[in-house]
């Protein structure tokens, strides 16, 4: 029993970041990438792919927070955790030579990753149970249900991600599939005002609000009256070239294969 207590204490004190979180991000992303159509969807709709992947990685924190009435953005508060999830998504889908994804497919590596993931899952369940116990003191049913959400939430959100991915061609062009100027501008202005708020930009809130408002009004007037194009397009195109610089474009390959099969059927 003393050895069990020692190992249990070690697991309880083992830091979540960077090892367990990085393994969780890599294994989750590679698992999603393994599904049919996932790679093509990521090349065609990278923002939707990244959003769905990040939501599944943080599913436990999101659903536990929702169950306990806590801020849903809490799981994204840790900058390093969030950037690790984004980097792993890029590495698995667009990394040079598909090294990360091919490494994941090696059985001994999968066994090691599985052990680390299940360790992380148990720690996540313990965190959820402790968080629920602090609110539902002595009420074991909500404590058990919230604890279970801490370990299996990814399966719930993965259904939503799969639905969006498989039916993206039939869906209307939403913000994740084709992001609009309004959303891009909102993200930029939010970033500027946030940096002013925390002191990274030496302006007052009033000054920042004025400049952002003037910028947004002028750009909107130019687009509506003078027919100017979306000013974010060059940035988006350049960003996409950087993101996909080391990867192929499977969407075009799969499309050509489908066309070849259709020609064979016609013949």
Residues 6+ apart with CB under 8 A from 52: 32, 160, 161, 164, 165
195 vs 197: CA distance, rounded Å: 5
160 and 186 part of one domain: no
Encode pLDDT of 206-256 as tens digits: 888 888 888 888 888 888 777 778 888 787 777 777 777 666 666 554 444
90 and 36 part of one domain: yes
The answer to the question of residue 208 being in a domain is yes
Residue 27 has pLDDT above 60, yes or no: yes
Cβ proximity of 146 and 132 under 8 Å: yes
What is the domain range of residue 220?
A: 181-259
30 and 162 part of one domain: yes
134 vs 146: CA distance, rounded Å: 12
Domain boundary among 135, 166, 197: 166
Domain boundary among 166, 196, 222: 166
102 vs 33: CA distance, rounded Å: 11
Per-residue tokens: 82: 């969030």
The answer to the question of residue 153 being in a domain is yes
52 vs 88: CA distance, rounded Å: 13
154 and 125 part of one domain: yes
Q: How confident is the model at residue 164, as a pLDDT?
A: 73
Q: What is the DSSP letter of 74?
A: G
Domain boundary among 166, 198, 223: 166
174 vs 180 pLDDT, higher one: 180
The answer to the question of residue 174 being in a domain is no
Q: How confident is the model at residue 248, as a pLDDT?
A: 67
Tell me the backbone φ, ψ of residue 154, rounded to 5 degrees. -55, -35
**Alpha helix segments (H runs only) across the chain:** 2-13, 21-33, 38-44, 46-57, 59-68, 79-94, 99-104, 107-135, 140-166, 181-197, 205-225, 233-243, 250-266
The answer to the question of residue 28 being in a domain is yes
106 and 208 part of one domain: no
Per-residue tokens: 125: 């369940």
235 vs 184: CA distance, rounded Å: 11
111 and 215 part of one domain: no
The answer to the question of residue 110 being in a domain is yes
Domain count, the chain: 2
Per-residue tokens: 80: 């390093």
Cβ proximity of 180 and 189 under 8 Å: no
186 and 85 part of one domain: no
Per-residue confidence band for 259, with pLDDT thresholds at 50, 70 and 90: very low
Q: How confident is the model at residue 246, as a pLDDT?
A: 63
161 and 185 part of one domain: no
113 and 230 part of one domain: no
91 and 133 part of one domain: yes
The answer to the question of residue 255 being in a domain is yes
């Amino acid at each position: 029993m003393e050895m069990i207590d020692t190992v249990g204490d070690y697991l309880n004190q083992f830091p979540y970041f960077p090892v367990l979180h990085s393994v969780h991000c890599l294994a989750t992303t590679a698992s999603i990438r393994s599904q049919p159509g996932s790679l093509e969807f990521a090349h065609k709709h990278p923002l939707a792919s990244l959003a769905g992947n990040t939501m599944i990685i943080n599913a436990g924190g999101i659903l536990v927070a929702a169950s306990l009435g806590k801020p849903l953005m809490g799981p994204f508060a840790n900058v390093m955790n969030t950037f690790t999830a984004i980097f792993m998504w890029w590495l698995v889908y667009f990394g040079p030579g598909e090294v990360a994804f091919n490494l994941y497919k090696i059985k001994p590596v999968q066994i090691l990753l599985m052990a680390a993931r299940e360790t992380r899952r148990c720690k996540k369940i313990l965190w959820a149970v402790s968080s629920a116990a602090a609110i539902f003191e002595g009420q074991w049913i909500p404590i058990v249900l919230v604890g279970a959400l801490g370990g299996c939430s990814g399966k719930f959100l993965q259904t939503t991600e799969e639905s969006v991915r498989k039916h993206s061609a039939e869906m209307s062009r939403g913000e994740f599939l084709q992001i609009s100027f309004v959303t891009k501008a909102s993200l930029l202005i939010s970033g500027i005002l946030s940096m002013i708020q925390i002191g990274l930009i030496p302006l007052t809130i009033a000054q920042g609000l004025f400049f952002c408002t003037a910028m947004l009004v002028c750009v909107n007037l130019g687009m509506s009256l003078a027919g100017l194009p979306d000013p974010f397009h060059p940035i988006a195109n350049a960003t996409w070239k950087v993101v996909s610089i080391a990867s192929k474009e499977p969407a075009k390959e799969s499309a050509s294969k489908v066309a070849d099969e259709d020609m064979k059927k016609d013949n």
